[in-house]
Structure 1
Amino acid sequence: MNENVKVVFGLIGGLALFLYGMNSMSDALQKAAGERMKKILGFLTRNPIMGALAGALVTAVLQSSSATTVMVIGFVSAGLMSLPQAISVIFGANIGTTMTAQLMAFKISNYIYPIIFVGFILNFVSKKEKVKNIGMVIFSFGLLFEGIEIMGEVMKPLAGSPVFVDLMGKVSSIPVLGVVLGAVMTLVVQSSSATIAVLQNFASQAGPDGVSSVIGLTGAIPILLGDNIGTTITALLASIGQSKNAKRTAIAHSIFNISGSCVFIFLVPWFAKFVQFISPKGNEIDVISRQIANAHTTFNIVCTLVWLPLIPLMVKIVTTIIRGNDKTEKAAFEPKYLDMKVIEQPAAAMVLVSKELNRLGELAESLLSDLKTAIVADGDSKTHGSFIENLEIVHQLQDSVTEYITRLFASGNLTEQQSEQTAGLLYVNNSIQRIADRCEDIDQICEKVNNNGKRLTSEASSEMEDCIDIIQQLLKKAMEAIRKGDAVVAETVFENKKKMHKAEKKYSKAHLNRVKNEVCDASMTRYFSGIMYNFDRMADNCVSIAEEACDNVAFINLDEETGKSMMERGAV
């Protein structure tokens, strides 16, 4: 096989193994972190410093600043985070992503296969989910380094190539060329971690003198700066079709990296000396990988420290670039919070599901009010039309939530505990759907009554209004219980369910008395009984929602209060 073809195949093969290892490690780290990810997400909305720290931690788990940025854009678009909060998290994400380069700088070539073997054994033999996930982290870590080793081996001949030596000489003397090269590499690969790993490997190759790096630290830094610019494209792509604040968040990410790179490009010689001072000493080819990692970390820390106090200025810049407010709101039946791009981060996706379910519960409460109005209106077409419209909104929104949760399960990224939580949220969703179905059944019964030329007595209408009031209170308490994960509130739902049972008996007896006194037609009994049956079933649906709260199912939110509530219950 041609030598050049071997080099190309080796590079793309090693890169594929690296990216697979990194993605697998990210998935396994998320599962290993499990419920702790909710704790970290709880810090996102506190203050800029905590937001930056949380951004760094989330990125260290996700192994990708792009993934963190996409998640934050989803939160901003859903209105769960303000623009200043999101910007602080983005700053932290840039620091977190440098951990990958620091890992790459370790010289563990002699231990790669033992690491892969240990990871495989832990994952293959253990029955415990946590141990299996830790095993997958170790296994993926080994694969990641094996990909690096493969790329390093095939790049050795390039170090002696006159063409490459000449190109690296130009990059060293023309820093802008290095920035462009780094940006293009990251745009193609869509991973700054991968391109920085390639850079670390290539820089570790000896030049013609056999001692110095083929590129040197001063040549590597501009490429590193270009990598930081190139990685912003993912965020910009993720913001397409999102809210204006989401676009501003993506632009803030770009401004952060571009402004820092523009400043540092003029400081390369001095920056290189500083990095050499804080890095281990030794032969250049032995220490340059660590120097590049330290340069990457230093660059992002310095930029964060500079920009963190200037967040109001960043907000002003991005709001000047993207002017105005969002003019068009989503249709009522469209999900307000769900974002398919966030599905790969289960903890974040569960936050969005929780918000959408909370909204669905509120719509169900409104639907009950519409049903009450429709009953009182006694067949008024306008009132009935409004009820039918809102009923369709609840149905379509429930379908969207079901599809989103199904895709979340299909992603394969959920831990056992997250799977139980998500299954509970799906059950809540189904219970709300059943309440909507019961409202529809009652409406259809009332329509049959009207079509038969009959009318409900004022007493019967009043009794139905009372039943709806009871159901609304039950639903309100049930949603409060699941919102907070509060078993005490759930108990009040179980207790108050008796009110519906008593009301059904009381009003059924009252109906029979009306029939006896010839105030009401006897043929109305089956209709009245059908309506009461549906009310009783709706009360059962509210109890079902409350029961999930007793099974440690709760909405996942970004606010501190909810996090405390869940920790008290031992769910976090």
Structure 2
Amino acid sequence: MAMSVALVGLAGAIALLLWGTHMVQTGVQRAFGPRLRSALGHALRNRLRAVLVGAGVTAVLQSSTATGLMVTGFAASGLVELVPALAVMLGANIGTTLIVQLLSFDVAAFAPALVLIGLILFRRDASPLLHDLGRVFIGLGLMLMALHQMLGMLATYEDAPGLRALLGAIASVPLLDLLLAAIVTWAVHSSVAVVLLVMSLAARGIIPMETAIAFTLGANLGTAINPVIEGVTSQDPAARRLPVGNLLIRTIGAGIALMALPWLARLAETIIADPGRAVADFHTLFNLALAALFFPLLTPFSRLLRWLLPARADPADPARPLYLDRSARETPIVALGGAAREALRLADVLEEMLRGARDALSKGDRKQIGETRRLDDVLDSLNTAIKAYLTSIDTEELGEADHRRLHAILAFAMNMEQAGDVVDLNLLPHAAKRLKRGLAFSSHGEAELIALLDRLIANLRAAASLFMTEDPRAARLLAAEKVAFREAEGVATEAHFARLRAGRLDSAQTSALHLDLLRDMKLINSHIIAAAAYPVLERNGELLPSRIAAPGA
């Protein structure tokens, strides 16, 4: 009975450690997610920088899996090559060891202070950044509390005959130790928690050093299993190259270390007197050695992965280009026509996003918001493919009119993608905020928003037609649509300040949200007009360089 209670208590401590890790990860992603993603995107241009940034981002996120998912998204969409993506994963593996090194010191005394600071920041609703940082501090405090509780429980039961008999039975088979640790790490989704537990067992003398190292190797292997399992759902084998490559690297490294296990155990015991510290240092050195071994081999290793997992085109994939014929690049006029046809697909995807936003506002469907935001990835992929295709055309074969058409296609594609970003990053989060806070627009206000969204969709269709016809009359009509949104925003702003002056705080909240949504729509409308109307008007000399009146006019 006592052993059952101990196991439940240990499982609860591990669960608290995992929850604290989850809070740190989500808090950092909410506070700095775009910046971390941007840092990864810049780092992927250089292999060595990719290793360093991968380690840093993982140390901040407290999860190599989270880093891997971001990089996998880059690689799957074709934005980066496989070699720098694999370099990031080598760095991410090192980053997890930095977390273990930090938590291996006796820092449990800081746990209450971290939770207190986190709670104060978390309750500051006025600042989303402080709110998210509060979540990070609370998570760190919970992690330290969980570690302290685990150490206390192990100290109490370290001499329990049942525990020693169980560990003694498996300690004689290193391969079984490795597989057991890999399964546990896969189950709890955290190599950090498993390695810290192994450190505690080694420090108390419950397991010998050979078993501790075998468990550590299994933890390194198990943390690479989850991304592979999640990637199985992908229809394209190429999307699984990165997680499979990371798993192969760790499997090879674990296999080599397992063959040298007795020598490694004696070396660790000779150099470092503290068994717990020896486990933490081995964890770090193992991943450093793995990075040093595979870093110069990433190029041939990526070729092997491409051979094992060849790309498969999915005709149903909306992000797959349909009209960018590579053979047509020899005939630029034909290539421009295909690129223009592909650019029209951007308008179709953007219209689908606007319709999704309309349904989210009118029906309050959270699921619809998530599905609509995923369409932005389709826009990004198509826009990237169009730009790469157009820049591959030999410009010496283009005449003046062809150059003008090429730049018009680029402008249209970029503005469609930027309009999609506004929907994804501004308009939809505001709709989600409305649902989260339980705010309800007045019937008049909601009707105005829906009418403007319908007008945006109509303007988008007009822009797509204008992009093909380049008719000056249609361009002037579309450009005049900016006035409608400017007037709607002015009226809404006056109404908002009137409610504030009247002291109607409940109505002021909804009117502020109403005003934010109007500004988002106005910005989307500006991108739609800039995509199709402005190039035509500028070519005909009908576009003024500035709205500011000349002196004396």
Query: Normalising TM by the smaller chain, what interval?
Result: 0.5 to 0.7
- Give 3-state SS (helix, strand or coil) of 1:43's partner: helix
Q: How far has the Cα of 1:73 moved from its partner?
A: 1.8
- Aligned-partner Cα distance in 2 for 1:260–1:363: 49
> What one-letter code is carried by the residue in structure 2 that aligns with 1:236?
V
- Aligned-partner Cα distance in 2 for 1:463–1:259: 59
Contact 1:200 1:292 in 2 (8 A): yes
> What one-letter code is carried by the residue in structure 2 that aligns with 1:395?
E
Task: Write out per-residue CA displacement over residues 113-163 of structure 1, whole angstroms, 9 at most, x where no aligned residue.
Answer: 333334333444695444444443222211112112222333335421334
Q: How far has the Cα of 1:192 moved from its partner?
A: 1.5
> What one-letter code is carried by the residue in structure 2 that aligns with 1:330?
A
1:450-529 equivalence runs, <5 A: 465-468=471-474, 497=479
> What one-letter code is carried by the residue in structure 2 that aligns with 1:407?
G
Q: How far has the Cα of 1:224 moved from its partner?
A: 0.7
Contact 1:30 1:61 in 2 (8 A): no
Q: Which residue of 1 aligns with 2:425?
A: 422
Q: Which residue of 2 aligns with 1:524?
A: none
2:348 is the counterpart of 1:327: no
Q: Which residue of 1 aligns with 2:41?
A: 42
2:369 is the counterpart of 1:406: yes
Q: Which residue of 2 aligns with 1:226?
A: 218
Q: Which residue of 1 aligns with 2:227?
A: 235
> What one-letter code is carried by the residue in structure 1 that aligns with 2:285?
T
Q: How far has the Cα of 1:256 moved from its partner?
A: 1.0
- Aligned-partner Cα distance in 2 for 1:31–1:179: 35
Q: Which residue of 1 aligns with 2:245?
A: 252
Q: How far has the Cα of 1:432 moved from its partner?
A: 9.7
Structure 1 residues 277 and 397: CA distance shift in structure 2, 3 A: farther
Contact 2:39 2:53 in 1 (8 A): yes
1:10-49 equivalence runs, <5 A: 10-33=9-32, 36-49=35-48
Equivalent in 278, 294, 303 of residue 316 of structure 1: 303
- Aligned-partner Cα distance in 1 for 2:186–2:121: 36
Contact 1:148 1:201 in 2 (8 A): no
Structure 1 residues 158 and 438: CA distance shift in structure 2, 3 A: same
Q: Which residue of 2 aligns with 1:480?
A: none
Q: How far has the Cα of 1:28 moved from its partner?
A: 2.2
Contact 1:364 1:435 in 2 (8 A): no
Task: Write out per-residue CA displacement over residues 478-508 of structure 1, whole angstroms, 9 at most, x where no aligned residue.
Answer: xxxxxxxxxxxxxxxxxxx58999xxxxxxx
1:349-388 equivalence runs, <5 A: 366=344
- Aligned-partner Cα distance in 2 for 1:548–1:140: 45
Structure 1 residues 23 and 409: CA distance shift in structure 2, 3 A: farther
- Give 3-state SS (helix, strand or coil) of 2:195's partner: helix
Larger RCO, structures 1/2 (Cα 8 Å, 6+ apart): 1
RMSD: 4.3
Larger Rg: 1
* TM-score (normalised: structure 1): 0.60
- Aligned-partner Cα distance in 2 for 1:55–1:40: 9
Q: How far has the Cα of 1:541 moved from its partner?
A: 7.3
Structure 1 residues 410 and 28: CA distance shift in structure 2, 3 A: farther
Q: Which residue of 2 aligns with 1:60?
A: 59
Structure 1 residues 548 and 176: CA distance shift in structure 2, 3 A: farther
- Give 3-state SS (helix, strand or coil) of 2:119's partner: helix
Q: Which residue of 1 aligns with 2:411?
A: none
Gaps of 5+ in 1: 206-212, 338-360, 368-389, 412-417, 447-461, 475-496, 502-538, 550-572
Contact 2:65 2:223 in 1 (8 A): yes
Structure 1 residues 543 and 180: CA distance shift in structure 2, 3 A: closer
Q: Which residue of 1 aligns with 2:263?
A: 270
Q: Which residue of 1 aligns with 2:106?
A: 107
Contact 1:41 1:54 in 2 (8 A): yes
1:542-561 equivalence runs, <5 A: 544-545=526-527
2:437 is the counterpart of 1:437: no
Aligned length: 401
Equivalent in 282, 285, 289 of residue 276 of structure 2: 289
Structure 1 residues 408 and 157: CA distance shift in structure 2, 3 A: farther
- Aligned-partner Cα distance in 2 for 1:439–1:408: 21
Q: Which residue of 1 aligns with 2:208?
A: 216
Contact 1:395 1:433 in 2 (8 A): no
- Aligned-partner Cα distance in 2 for 1:327–1:8: 49
